[in-house]
Chain A
């Protein structure tokens, strides 16, 4: 057994595991203060079980939590499947927050929220902004505290796919991208390490100030930044939320407050430099 723990916040996870490969791979992605040995005096939010089991002719790794099976995988794809497994745990049991499928970054205590469905270039833009000095709160999940309305960070390595990987390496040759895995169900996946400031302030909340719905569009001649009406912004955010409908009135109130306190835009772009420039001007 090589059990280990990820002390990420607000959710920690205890990993039960019989293969040292996963731990050493994750050690490339998480700092030593976050990835540690289990401590009996701490309560862990989730437990993930990663172990080889017979299935058909082979013995793939099974990733599961609380006897619920998530996915099987071969050794080469263990890291992305583990990361997705962790997302799956969190996505199902986080109704203490309003959770929106969005990247969140912070500068000067103010948060920029970028909600978008997959394929809209959200992660690419998020990674580029992080390289430009923004603090990463999350590239996947915007957690809104239902009482204070503050945005709660959930810092994890930033997941990049396919074309996005190539572009970021090209734009930022010094960027630290690790654990690149080819042939997954989502194509090639790699992880960009969050900046030092992100890990240092991994529990520090931020106040939502801007909501930008990004849309990458290669045929776009000129960058277009459109101001969104509050009602439209509300509906788009609700649509991108994991649990808006579960939270009923609480979800409505929380999202209303969020929309009231922020300015919302739609950003259509083809050129990343223009997009970065525009966001820097805006925020």
Chain B
């Protein structure tokens, strides 16, 4: 999959039927079917791929198109709420990419709408969203407390009819972490979306957020998609001539290592020219070799190596996300809460039977 996104022309020239079968599978697995379709279209390569591949890409592109229409319809519903608010609401990730019509958003699927509001207004925004039909659903008491105390967002809010999910953030990184990231530049540089109350981060900040998400957390299930996002975002930053600004912001926000690692991996996997440029810059610290090795092992390694890397990544991500006291408590309390809940359920059904 990464080979295709790194060099589609080359992939098309050499792909066998068996490789295309596998390609279609993997594209579905990683939610990249519409992405590959738009990439081929943009590069004028559609006619060169087999008809069947085109058809599946087209099917996915239609789904993605519908999802993007749905995003705007949701934002329109929420417009009055934020128009009346006296604090900024910044869209993040997929919603922001789409509203800025960045190439990374073409055919990109997303599961929820991410928003960032100042920490002091989180509760107020959540309460207001309730009267727009959004509420928290299906969380255990422990998980809810975890979200509120240690994470960087409110528990997901789902619309009671439409099923749309909003991830309401007050930060881009868990507050339980020992690492303190200053996100005030995201707010201060955010630009207004014409005709709307929502604000949109600069491309440099979108890239930094994506890099933080990949390198300071433990999640690995969307690794390929996240990496392709990063690649497109960095090219965008370069195109907008914000590379130096981005490096300066990374220093200011103390997320240099995430950006350095991202550039290292992008240069290696996609030969991304912007990443190569940044890697040579005096402003950027050196990438962490072990971290990059683990990531590449998960991407390219097979069997045991990838599995081991994944386990280490999981432990490392948790360690970064939580101070050691919190991590220790979480490691013990989470299973304890699950057992307690199971016991309560069993006893309850026992009593009911009698």
Seen from chain A, the residues whose Cβ lies within 8 Å of a Cβ on chain B are: 14, 40-47, 65-68, 93-96, 245-248, 250
| Residues 7-43 of B at the A interface (beta carbon under 8 Å) | 16-18, 20-21, 24-26, 28-29, 33
A14's contact among B21, B59, B63, by CB below 8 Å, is which?
A: B21
Given A66-B25, A245-B66, A250-B62, output 12 extra A-B contacts at Cβ < 8 Å.
A41-B17, A42-B17, A47-B21, A47-B25, A65-B25, A66-B29, A68-B28, A93-B56, A95-B62, A96-B56, A246-B62, A248-B65
A42 to B52, CA, bound (A): 10
Decide: A66 and B21 in contact? CB cutoff 8 A.
no
Closest residue of B by beta carbon distance from A49 = B25
What are 23 A-B contacts with C-beta separation under 8 Å? A40-B18, A42-B17, A43-B20, A43-B24, A43-B50, A45-B52, A46-B24, A65-B25, A66-B26, A66-B29, A68-B28, A93-B28, A93-B56, A95-B62, A96-B55, A96-B58, A96-B59, A96-B62, A245-B66, A246-B63, A247-B62, A247-B66, A250-B62
Q: Is B96 an interface residue (CB 8 A)?
A: no
Q: Is B53 an interface residue (CB 8 A)?
A: yes
Q: What are the 7 A-B residue pairs with the smallest beta carbon separation, nearest first?
A: A66-B29, A95-B59, A95-B62, A66-B28, A43-B20, A96-B59, A246-B66
Contacts of A245 in B (CB 8 A): 66
Contact code string B45-74 (vs A, CB < 8 Å = 1, else 0): 000001011011011101101100100000
A95 to B55, CA, bound (A): 9
- Smallest Cβ distance from A150 to chain B, in angstroms? 15
A43's contact among B21, B28, B62, B66, by CB below 8 Å, is which?
A: B21
Known contacts A67-B29, A96-B55; A248/B21 CB under 8 A: no
- Smallest Cβ distance from B26 to chain A, in angstroms? 7
A169 to B54, CA, bound (A): 43
Decide: A95 and B63 in contact? CB cutoff 8 A.
yes
Decide: A248 and B24 in contact? CB cutoff 8 A.
no
- Smallest Cβ distance from B340 to chain A, in angstroms? 22
A45 to B58, CA, bound (A): 13
Contacts of B56 in A (CB 8 A): 45, 93, 96
Contacts of B59 in A (CB 8 A): 93-96
Contacts of B62 in A (CB 8 A): 95-96, 246-247, 250
- Smallest Cβ distance from A141 to chain B, in angstroms? 14
A93 to B58, CA, bound (A): 10
Decide: A43 and B52 in contact? CB cutoff 8 A.
yes
- Smallest Cβ distance from B313 to chain A, in angstroms? 18
A44 to B20, CA, bound (A): 8
Closest residue of A by beta carbon distance from B58 = A96
- Smallest Cβ distance from A211 to chain B, in angstroms? 24
Closest residue of A by beta carbon distance from B33 = A93
B60's contact among A47, A68, A95, by CB below 8 Å, is which?
A: A95
Contacts of A40 in B (CB 8 A): 16-18
- Smallest Cβ distance from B35 to chain A, in angstroms? 15
Contacts of B16 in A (CB 8 A): 40
Closest residue of A by beta carbon distance from B57 = A96
Contacts of A47 in B (CB 8 A): 21, 25
